[in-house]
Chains A and B, each alone.
Chain A
């Protein structure tokens, strides 16, 4: 078994198991903490708890204008790399082929040009995010190892993926074997590293954000505060 065989076989299996079990473990561990119900009477006429939670989940998608330009810039930059990563992962034809081999699921791919633009924008946005963390006194003050590890682990699959691309995806998919086995293995291993790290660091915010915003939405909605 060469490195690509290892990456496609046991390494992928381990990564997926760690990702799934770790994510379930962490979510269960948090959601099973003691509940402290709010026994105060809700303000008259307020929406239900569920509506309050859903409203705040949506409200949190965009910063309030009152907080100025900095949150807006950070948010837009965040959207660029979140959407860029999603487009590249789910829209690039070789990725869809990879997922089809694993799960049997597939969907139409996006054009290569869109993928290249998305990957380029993602890389720039990630570098800007890193620059902000390195230069902002606030972010330097509050940053912990998780922030640096997570940034690196997010950046690696993008940059190694770009390194593998030497020809249009149609030509890649027309072959029945991989040409650049070493670089492809490295790319796949960086993705597996991301899956393994996911439950242990702040990548978990992909799931936690909804619960966190929802809890605050319920608390404030109960009081009649329109967030």
Chain B
């Protein structure tokens, strides 16, 4: 691959490892990722470049360095040198150069700033390579090497200390009491026994407290016994995005162990995409067996409540368009659930030009929204979404992921776009019959 002109020199590094130690740490982690599926995917690329036609960052900029498979170049080299069936031959003949510290530093931008792990490229690949998953695995090595964007590293340190990027657990009861008072809804906290452990995204403890209060309003309507708990409440799992496997495990265990402790049979995840990816599909690997609790996203919870008539909603009877959060729809399988809830609300759904499985990412997933360095690129991707929303002419613009909502609200603010991004959860709560 042509690596002469590659990523810009925008990189951060953490810790006091020497350059050699960083490379070794990254390589060691990379190699540990190469199970049979990752290896098949590393082997199968024919470098057709069709993944570029799917990536919102490549489409928005036209810059070839944003070709998804190119973002994996150091990872590919690690595979070929250390794990591929031809590795001994490759090393003996010096056919593939070992990644250098400069490579890893440069690729930080491609792995963190310009990839949201949305997986649209996975659908475009004729070989079926799950590029988004490989990027996530490559991030594990970057984290081990202390080569992640500083802002994400700061969030990581906070979450390691507090169990959340928003607040220490011991402050949760006070925060919930304030939210309850502000919105006039009861929010149980730290109950010793409950059937459902309800979790939150960090934003719901800050600027999106209405979403939290609305979840409480709906749960209270059902009569189910539920609680939030300071021992496990933040589902967003910054470890999943950063590549910090230890933190990912710690945050995951906090949720599942707390649910088990209070006898809950369900962990209810908030409107957060990466929370769903981390908990629904990856939690079991930390336990080595199927989990003793069900993990469910807010969207499917609402869908089930409406279908079982545990709640009823008034019909709004206006037009709406829907932004499909990548981790919930493309990588999570909840495309139909969100649309059933929208239908129950009586919306006339006008789909975006690209929607469902092939919908464009908001541009902020995978931690990109938290990375100030990525803001200009994120804005270019946002403009594509903005154009598609405008083209529908729909009155409401709805989504079911708080992180998407924050990204889209930031984009709207920057472009003076007068189109609020509405939460599916909040719409349901506001229209309870």
Contacts and interface: CB of A to CB of B under 8 A. Distances in A.
Interface of A: 25-26, 28-36, 38-41, 43, 56-57, 60, 63-64, 66-68, 70-71, 74-75, 78, 136-144, 146-147, 200, 202, 204-205, 208-209, 211-217, 219-220, 223-227
A41 B332 CA distance: 13
Contact of B70 (A60, A70, A141): A141
Contact of B283 (A33, A40, A71): A40
Given A60-B126, A139-B49, A30 B39 contact: yes
A149 B257 CA distance: 54
Given A74-B50, A209-B44, A215-B37, 13 more contacts: A30-B85, A32-B36, A33-B39, A64-B358, A70-B53, A78-B126, A138-B52, A142-B70, A143-B1, A202-B45, A212-B128, A212-B129, A216-B122
Contact of B47 (A68, A139, A227): A139
B124 A209 contact: no
B245 interface: no
A226 B332 CA distance: 10
Contacts of A70: 50, 53
A224 B333 CA distance: 5
18 contacts: A25-B85, A31-B36, A32-B36, A33-B36, A34-B36, A40-B290, A40-B291, A71-B126, A141-B49, A141-B65, A147-B47, A205-B44, A209-B126, A216-B129, A217-B128, A219-B37, A220-B333, A227-B123
A212 B40 contact: yes
Number of chain B interface residues as a range? 35 or more
A217 B129 CA distance: 10
B127 A212 contact: yes
Contact of B280 (A25, A33, A40, A205): A40
Interface in B84-100: 84-86
A215 B49 contact: no
Nearest to A75: B126
Given A64-B123, A71-B53, A212-B41, A225 B128 contact: no
Nearest to B62: A137
B48 interface: yes
Where chain A touches its partner, the secondary structure class is: helix
A36 B35 contact: yes
B85 A28 contact: yes
B387 to A, nearest CB: 16
B173 to A, nearest CB: 31
B184 interface: no
B64 A204 contact: no
B306 interface: no
B281 A60 contact: no
A215 B43 CA distance: 13
Given A204-B43, A205-B44, A208-B43, A216 B85 contact: no
Contacts of A146: 47
Given A26-B85, A40-B280, A67-B50, A223 B331 contact: yes
B50 A63 contact: yes
B40 A30 contact: yes
Nearest to B32: A34
Contacts of B70: 141-142
Contact of A202 (B1, B47, B288): B47
